[in-house]
Structure 1
């Protein structure tokens, strides 16, 4: 299958989007979908599943409309529904469809019903009967029940993207109700990164004699290099400071944490050292979240600190009912005392679906709460035939709770979840390599880290959280109104501005030369060997510059800021760039 076989308008749009050759999932799925087959497809994150179902949907709509006379009322009707688990993914798919329809936008209309607009206000959009509707299951059901969306006689195809995630978000009942409003015969496409028992049940409910595609692209199997570091909670802050301040990772990085307070604690901590970052969590408005992802993809921000609350909630559902009951009264009392912030978005998700582009590394600052969550987090990097790496901090059980101010509530499960992750990764011939830092060389930075953490108090975190949410609400309104008509003005809107209500010590922004570690390879390893092999640790090279204070702006071969590296992944990329 080639893109040139599609409608010329689609081929032209794909060429403009730099889609020249179909990926494996696209080459297999598109011909089957055009032939009218139901499809259940499993493919890794970043393999091109979105285009694999969007292209045949649009192609079939264009063909069907051309067969009808201009005056026919059947030309204006809703023919396809795409259901997704999160609003971010709905925005992303709508954007892709809009780019795809650039040369035939008058013939095919797309509507996104998953935004913040109330259901009542969206009814006017549905009166125009858009050809394709993108929505979350809850929003689609609301319109079907109110009869503002009627597809009983017109629906041709139903797509459920990230099917396993939709079910894990609790949309199973909504899906069953949605099916009662649909015609008896229509084409169904299920897309997922994993095939679970729930997906199998959904397959029995929706699909008729489906084509099952389980695809793994061999070229991408070895593109992801995975590392894990066993350390204390305090050392996590020390290591993240060293990694980011010394620029050990070149390129964009996503740092995952397990709750919103941790998100702001880490941001405030990094601000102490003048390290800019932006946060991404369910409290922020949808418009702001989408704009943050866009700017990150453009390279405006290097570091995003993202929460993974959806997976955290799912993991908590496995806790014994007795434990939940005993803690219920305590949690209720605490919730009353908590700061009243904007209501969290139940349809938020960042570890799945959202298309982050050219991510060099994923850092699991807080280890995920399930093996499934780990897979989806690290799937944000090493996409589209590009190399990437993941680095996960694992807190040993005996080190949990040593410092209450920096301890994460999920840390006590780290070792248990890590063993599950290792087993799951071994099934796909993937290995998580242990990575050891030369901690003695980093001791000089410890007092700075401890001093910075003392400034990041609970009150400072709460104030920062409130300040950021208020700021983003204002930004969201601007995005919604003014910036819609003035897209160039978006450049002035930044999401990585400082929010520190805590004291900031100016001397912490710079690293004095006496703190720089001594440069020496591990014993028994020559400098030549060091350049060409993965040593399993982070060494400095020999012969450091005698004085770093002079000519800092000049690049030097022996500059530790350039040679202190975190994995062979980036040294390989560096050699490629030199060529």
Structure 2
């Protein structure tokens, strides 16, 4: 039980309020060494409770250290940021912060969120209050470290790095490196300095020799001191490495990856399918077979948005989640899907990693994932925490990468996993939906025109507001010190593209 982990009463009360009955395996394995002050290097399958595995010992450490002003949990005179948690995406950071707030409900420990897409001034004000815990994405953390007056990392005692392999894949190695260098370092005997809790889907020994593995190795070497290694649910689910890699057998191996044990996998063959054909199959599934609590994954943002338009026109309640949406819209989409206001979440891989949306029944891969690791993280949105779930993939067997995926999925279904099931959609139903989609073309065009006008109006309003603000606060703006940027947007995009290209994508 959680009581056996020697957690304080305020945390046990919060855990009970969240409905957590017993520790998950990764929590039971990671919390004791973390409470003992050891660095932890953890790996666990998706939906395994990793946030609790690192945040519970963090909160317990803050509680044991005394009240605010003496190094404790609250803000106030003498308070400081003592915990920095880094996550690769805004959505994951928001989710982690939400869990942190819930766990700290009865402790008085303060926390703040620092991510892109939300107002800088609001975040800087929160950081000036010196919250004990800051949950952040690396780019925004570096921005605040360089530019937010009165906030720094000199008092950080615990550094949490979650989804470390994803951080490397997204090109955040340099930003994470700067943050690791900014926190107090441990001496050679391990005394003093920061405690690091690092979690990753792949770890050295399984990560292979790709660029992501090399950067991950370097991060582990720089950030961890004699870590306790925790690996949970590492049942090999067949060799899904290299799926979709243009290099085929010669591409870098990413090793074995684990599928949720309660997952049912289905495949629909769409030989030679056009985008319209896939849309027809998808709408047939969404209207007849899988009608609630469904996440649909697409390869491109424009495909996710096009599907969202179609779903709205045919009366299927949906929300979209991709990189073209502002942060407020992303959060609104997640809220709509989580609350049940939207039955379908139409997303790119921004939602494939780590997001814990309760009771997702089905994941549909409308477009094939780029590799086996992406497949696992997509389908891992369902069949979480021991619950059952279904993953349906639309695969074109005339495409070599998708044919390899089909073969690998069949091989991956090793006991106790169920075999991959071939599902078919009646041709007459698909043809009916295809005809309906063609008939909706004028309505789709009208929506596109309306959205274009709305976008132009928003841009004009934003530029007008900027101009008014510049005139109203000209003196204050001129007096500000110049902001320091880690990279320009163009440089950041180039690093990410180079990382993906070197990984064989």
Which TM-score applies when normalising by structure 1? 0.65
What is the CA distance between 1:58 and its match in structure 2? Answer: 0.7
Give the structure 2 partner of residue 205 of structure 1: 222
Q: Which runs of structure 2 are paired with 1:16-55 in the superposition (5 Å)?
A: 16-55=17-56
Query: Which residue, out of 77, 80, 89, partners 1:77?
Result: 80
What residue in structure 1 maps to residue 374 of structure 2? 373
Aligned-residue offset at 1:147: 6.1
Shift of 1:350: 1.0
How far did residue 169 of structure 1 move?
A: 0.8
Contact 2:277 2:434 in 1 (8 A): no
**Per-residue Cα deviation, 1:114-166 (whole angstroms, up to 9, x for no partner):** 14344455333222211001111111112222363655541111000111111
Do structure 1's residue 242 and structure 2's residue 270 form an aligned pair? no
The Cα shift of 1:51 comes to 0.6
Q: Are 1:435 and 2:476 an aligned pair?
A: no
Tell me if the contact between 2:154 and 2:182 (Cα under 8 Å) persists in the aligned partners.
no
Kindly tell me: are residues 243 and 24 of structure 1, through their superposed partners in 2, closer, same or farther at Cα, counting changes over 3 Å?
same
- Report if the CA contact (8 A) 1:283-1:469 is conserved: no
Sort the Cα spacing of 1:445 and 1:414 in 2 relative to 1 into closer, same or farther, 3 A: closer
1:189 positional shift: 0.7
Query: What pairs with 1:303-314 in structure 2 (closer than 5 Å)?
Result: 303-308=344-349
1:230 aligns with 2:292: no
Which residue pairs with 1:194 in the alignment?
Answer: 202
Number of matched pairs: 415
Deviations 1:182-237 (A, max 9, x none): 11121001112222323233211211111111101889953001111111335433
Q: Distance in 1 between matches of 2:161 and 2:11?
A: 23
**Equivalences for residues 393-432 of structure 1 within 5 A:** 393-397=394-398, 413-419=401-407, 425=412, 430=417
Report if aligned partners of 1:378, 1:390 keep a CA contact under 8 Å in 2: yes
Is 1:123 aligned to 2:124, yes or no? yes
Q: Deviations over 1:30-51 (max 9, x none)?
A: 1110001111110011100001
SS at match of 2:65: helix
Is 2:435 aligned against 1:450?
yes
Question: 1:371 offset after TM fit, Å?
Answer: 1.6
Is the 8 Å Cα contact of residues 82 and 156 (structure 2) preserved in structure 1? yes
C-alpha distance in structure 2 between counterparts of 1:140 and 1:66, whole Å:
26
Structure-2 residue corresponding to 1:156: 157
User: Given the superposition, is the C-alpha separation of residues 467 and 302 from structure 1 closer, same or farther in structure 2, using an over 3 Å criterion?
Assistant: farther
- In 2 relative to 1, CA 460–150 (structure 1 residues): closer, same or farther, beyond 3 Å? same
Shift of 1:7: 1.2
Alignment of 1:468-483 (within 5 A): none
Task: Give the Cα–Cα distance (whole angstroms) in 2 for the partners of residues 460 and 3 of structure 1.
Answer: 59
Q: Does 1:279 align with 2:320?
A: yes
How many Å separate the matches in 2 of 1:129 and 1:420? Answer: 50
Q: Secondary structure at the match of 2:369?
A: coil
Task: Decide whether aligned partners of structure 1 residues 115 and 433 sit closer, same or farther in structure 2, where only a CA change above 3 A counts.
Answer: same
CA drift at 1:456: 3.1
Structure with greater Cα Rg: 1
Change (3 A) 1:465 1:51: farther
Give, in angstroms, the shift of residue 460 of structure 1. 5.0
**Length-normalised TM-score, structure 2:** 0.74
Could you say if the C-alpha distance between residues 153 and 23 of structure 1 is closer, same or farther in structure 2, counting changes exceeding 3 Å? same
- For structure 1, the 5+ residue unaligned runs are 309-348, 398-410, 474-579
Name stretches of at least 5 consecutive residues in structure 2 with no aligned partner. 187-193, 208-212, 236-257, 460-505
For 1:95-127, what per-residue CA distance to the aligned partner results, in whole angstroms no more than 9, with x for missing partners? 11111122123xx11011114344455333222
Is residue 2 from structure 1 mapped to residue 2 from structure 2 by the alignment? yes
Say whether 1:134 aligns with 2:122. no
Give the match for residue 91 of structure 2.
88
Does the aligned pair in 2 maintain the 1:288–1:472 contact within 8 Å? Answer: no
Distance (whole Å) between structure 2 residues aligned to residue 224 and residue 23 of structure 1: 18
- Counterparts of 1:92-103 in structure 2, within 5 Å, are 92-103=95-106
Q: List per-residue Cα deviations over 1:238-291 (Å, max 9, x = no partner).
A: 332222222x22531011111122123223333443323221111222122123
Cα distance in 1 for residues equivalent to 2:337 and 2:451: 21
Q: How big is the shift at 1:429? A: 7.0
Match of residue 490 from structure 2? none
* TM superposition shift of 1:450: 2.4
Flag the 1:110–1:279 CA change in 2: closer, same or farther, 3 A. same
Q: Does structure 1 residue 255 correspond to structure 2 residue 296?
A: yes
SS class of match (2:182)? coil
CA distance in 2, matches of 1:47, 1:472: 41
Q: C-alpha separation between the residues in 2 aligned to 1:103 and 1:353?
A: 26
CA distance in 2, matches of 1:221, 1:81: 30
**Other-structure match for 2:210:** none
CA shift in 2, pair 1:272/1:184, >3 Å:
closer
| In structure 1, C-alpha distance between the alignment counterparts of 2:61 and 2:379, rounded to whole Å | 35
